[in-house]
Amino acid sequence: MLGEFEQLVLLAILREDDAFGASIQRSIAEQGGRDVSLGAVYTTLARLEQKGLIEGWVGEPTAERGGRRRRHYRVLSPGRRELEASLATLRRMARGLTPRLELP
Amino acid sequence: MNRGAIPRLAAWLIAWRLPPDFSEPFLGDLEERFHEVAARQGRWAARRRCWREVLLACARRWPDPRPAAVRDRFDHGGTTMETLLADVRAGVRQLGKAPLFSFLVILTFALGIGTSSAIFSVVNPVLLERPPYPGADRITLLFERDREGRESHIGFATYKDLARNTSFASTAVMSFWQPVLEGEEPQVLTGQRVSSGFFRTLGVTPALGRDFTEEEDHDGAARVAIISHDLWQGAFAGDPAIIGRTVRLGNSPFQVIGVLPSSFESLLAPSARIWSPLRYELSQSWACRNCRHLRMIGRLKEGVSLAQANDEMQAISRRIVAANPTDYSGPGVLLTPLHEYLVRQARPLFLAVSGAVILLLLLACTNGANLLLGRAVDRSGEFAVRAALGAGRGSLVRRVTVESVVLALIGGVLGIGIAVLGVKLLVQLAPRNLPRIGHIHVDGEVLAFTVLVAVATGIAAGLAPALALARGDLAGLIRAGGRQVVRGEGSRLRRMFVTVGVSMALMLLIGAGLLLRSLDQLLAVQPGFDPRDLLTMELQATPDSDAAVLRYYGQVVEATRQIPGVQAAAVVNQLPLSGDFDSWGISFESRPVANPADAPDAFRYAVLPGYIQAMRIPLLAGRDLAPQDTHDSPPVALISATFAKRVLGDENPIGQRVKVGDPSGPWVTIVGVVGDIHQQSLDSEGEGQIYLSMYQTPWAYSRMMLVVRSPIASASLVPQVRQVLRQIDPGMPVSRVFGMNELLRTTVAPRRLALLVFEFFSVVALVLAGAGLYGVIAANVSQRTREIGIRAALGASSGRVMGLVLRQGMALAGMGLVLGLVGAEVLTRLLTSLLYGVSPTDPVTFLLVVAVLAAVALVACWAPARRALRVDPVRAMRE
């Protein structure tokens, strides 16, 4: 079962065409409305990678990064399955509660 | 794109804390975000955000990048940071387990660290920081070299010649100024008259208004003034229209043209708050070469070294002297860098105090180490268990060191409290003329210093037990259940520490002893007059003509003498031991010198007749100055006995004639010989004095010191005198009201401060050394309980048992004493300039201090020795 923050990170990776640490952080801030630290994003990425849910690779250095390389991520199929399962569970649990929770 | 968006420290932290795969992309992301945020919210917000990210990231738990198998093989989990944190947590837990021990160690460290921080916060602004002017290291003072090779102020004509050089970007001269600010309550201001380039030379520009111009620095130019921020806010209530406002100083209107920045510190005239152009012309009589009353400063051009400037100035000086041989006793200009000029008086005091604090810190370190070693012995069992469970030598050593650093840091926090209190005390006791005294406080630099000292102290003190563990044989430790290894190695070290501690305490005590004896000797020095029941105050006459000034002072003294209870009163232009300095060349008719500049110097006092009596300076021969010695009678003088003897030998000085200063002035007949006084300080020697009637000096002094001898307490006398003065002239300001005894105390202030510091340190040192000795001997007795029991069982008398323990303790103390004597022999030389009438190796002091310390050592060993006596042989053997 995925943690909530892991779900957010996975969703952010799926949203972005080209996902990396800063873009994931930005996406969670802009779409999710939550300001999270880059360190939290990175440790979660490391955990997801260790679990074999995502895959990371190193890109080319760019100037706006002070000549440093990016580490890109994409979601692997086990990750996609885990995420689908988590979201399905969440939806099932929330079903029928919409009036009481004032969900949008 | 610049790589510098991420602070280097932040990048370093990330590289250290994050797994290697992550740190590069992390920093890259950070930099990208930085530019984003900077574009939206500015660099400042971006920087703050960046730091937040870095710190949050460092605080997180990062996965170990190594494969699980490797991890398990090499350590018991966690990265360096995590084990360190675990050690810190364990260290804090240990403190709770042995509260008394922790308290003692923390107290020891707090004393050492706190006092050194307090001393550092005083030494840092006074001795170490550059003066607060831009390019301050290029500002120097320029002096003429006098006969004895000392620095002498210069005359205006000499300045004009010296100013024509190629080494200095600008030069200026300054003189003292004490104008009276007219108003409802007239106020004496301290200020400086300066040549127009003064502020340019210091590199200071007024915050409001403008600097002086060249045109304003001429006789007859409109009078203008620049004031300090403080005076603007105070006397002028921050008047926004201050620039251009006309203020009355003395009898003349001055236009305020500038206000200095609030950050400006007047280091060359510490209480100066107002500046005005000098307005000298070479044609004026006070602008002559002999009129040496100006201080000269210069700002070296960029790229010109002090040595180059020195060469040029010496060449100019040689030319000046060749052209005016009778005005100089020889060529030579002395260049003194500003920083050097400001700190050199305070330096001997601070070197001595710093030396003392380093000793105390070392003593605290060794004592802390000693306590930690003792604790390590107690914990040998625990270490043995840890080693048996697989803890490496490294992890044991690390744990011990971290614990010690934790203790030292807690000690450091307490120490900051001590430092804050100590600094308050020091500032109160510090001599008033200490440069930058207002800047002494506990600031960020001091805190950084404290943390540094605390960590260093912790590591240094922790090193000893750590080394004992590291060198010890772990296998042996396990076998012996922790009894043997740490103990053997540790107790050798502990004995060494105790010895060193005793030696350092001895050095501090000897320093204190020498200073105490110096102060005693110095206070026993007779100033040459009777300082008791003597009230002094500075008056400033406002009348315009010399005759009116003289009449005015005559009235003042007459009226003061009428106050009931006043025994005598007089005025004088300079007061002994007050910092006043008015020294003139005296040419004797019977001892002609080829060059008037070679005439012997004496302090010259212009007095109202009756001054000698009022001060109770003994009249040794001839007569005193009398009211009949006025401007139309032949000029007469009194001279001091030693001065007469130095110049005239055994010849009778009475009836001899001298010229005071100006070779073209009138001959003055010596009519009396008086006792010597100390003008500059109690330890000054070989000063000469000459007293003239103020009615017979070439001009009248508008500023005079009133001296009043009366047994009435100054609290009720001062208002009476003030009332008398107000009746004569309500507009006359009074300042510098002192009892003469206070002035005496001021002159010994630096020594008193040094003494106080040494005394405090010595008491702490005595306690620390005694406690260290006690700790070692007590531990030793408890280790040897069995042995002592056997001895007692075999019939050793109580005297023998006690002797056994005492002998061991006193042997340690004795070694410490010998070591300390050798150290003191070297270190007391640092104190030489603060000593008076006592040699740095004064045998009396050395013997007394050794006796005191030996007594303390005996007491420290006594208690454990008594405990040894109470050992019950039966129980001891059964254990």
Of the listed ranges B107-116, B428-437, B788-797, the one predicted with least confidence: B428-437
Give the closest-approach CA distance of B61 to chain A in angstroms: 8
Rounded average pLDDT over B739-755: 79
Identify the pLDDT of residue B433.
60
Q: Is the pLDDT of residue B774 over 80?
A: yes
Contact criterion met (CB < 8 Å) for A25 and B27: no
Give the closest-approach CA distance of B448 to chain A in angstroms: 29
Confidence of residue B496 (pLDDT cuts 50, 70, 90): confident
- Encoding tokens for residue B786? 């069995």
Calpha distance B403→B407 (Å, rounded) = 6
Give the closest-approach CA distance of B57 to chain A in angstroms: 4
Identify the pLDDT of residue B732.
76
Contact criterion met (CB < 8 Å) for A25 and B30: no
CB atoms within 10 A of CB A82: 21
Does any CB of chain A come closer than 8 Å to the CB of residue B71? no
Pairing of strands A68-75, A19-20: antiparallel
A/B interface, count of CB pairs below 8 Å: 82
- Encoding tokens for residue B452? 């540094």
* 3-state class percentages of chain B: helix first, strand second, coil last, to nearest 5: 55, 15, 30
pLDDT per position as a tens digit, B126-178: 777 778 899 899 999 999 987 777 788 888 999 999 999 999 999 999 988 87
Q: What is the ipTM of this complex?
A: 0.90
Interface test with A, best of B32, B51, B64 (most A CBs within 10 A): B32
Does any CB of chain A come closer than 8 Å to the CB of residue B30? yes
Give the closest-approach CA distance of B452 to chain A in angstroms: 29
| A37 → closest Cβ in B1, B3, B56 | B56
| A39 → closest Cβ in B6, B24, B56 | B56
Q: Is the pLDDT of residue B491 over 60?
A: yes
pLDDT per position as a tens digit, B306-337: 999 999 999 999 999 999 888 887 778 999 99
Confidence of residue B584 (pLDDT cuts 50, 70, 90): confident
Identify the pLDDT of residue B206.
94
Give the closest-approach CA distance of A37 to chain B in angstroms: 6
Does any CB of chain A come closer than 8 Å to the CB of residue B665? no
% of residues, chain B, pLDDT over 70: 93
Rounded average pLDDT over B79-92: 73
Does any CB of chain A come closer than 8 Å to the CB of residue B50? no
| A38 → closest Cβ in B2, B24, B26 | B26
pLDDT per position as a tens digit, A46-62: 889 888 899 998 888 88
Closest alpha carbon within chain B to A24: B29
pLDDT under 70 in chain A at which residues? 98-100, 102-104
Average confidence score pLDDT of chain B: 84
Phi first, then psi: give them for residue B294, nearest 5 degrees.
-110, 145
Identify the pLDDT of residue B463.
78
| A68 → closest Cβ in B28, B58, B62 | B28
Rounded average pLDDT over B827-841: 82
% of residues, chain B, pLDDT over 90: 27
Q: Could you tell me the CA-to-CA distances from B531 to B576, B614, B706, B744 in Å, in that order?
A: 10, 10, 14, 8
Which has the higher per-residue pLDDT, B771 or B311? Answer: B311
Rounded average pLDDT over B750-779: 81
> What angle, 0 to 180 degrees and rounded to 10, lies between the N-to-C axes of helices B749-783 and B485-524?
150
Contact map slice: A 26-85 vs B, CB within 8 A? 26, 37-40, 42-43, 46-47, 50, 58, 61-71
Asked whether the beta carbons of B455 and B751 are under 8 A apart, the reply is no
Asked whether the beta carbons of B869 and B802 are under 8 A apart, the reply is yes
| B28 → closest Cβ in A25, A47, A69 | A69
- Encoding tokens for residue B856? 């303390």
Contact criterion met (CB < 8 Å) for B5 and A64: no
Q: Which amino acid makes up residue B228?
A: S
CA-closest candidate to residue A27, choices A41, A39, A43 = A41
pLDDT per position as a tens digit, B615-637: 999 999 999 999 999 888 999 99
Contact residues, chain B, for A43 at CB < 8 Å: 60-63
- Encoding tokens for residue B568? 């005598």
> What is the pTM assigned to this prediction?
0.64
| A65 → closest Cβ in B31, B52, B60 | B31
Identify the pLDDT of residue B243.
94
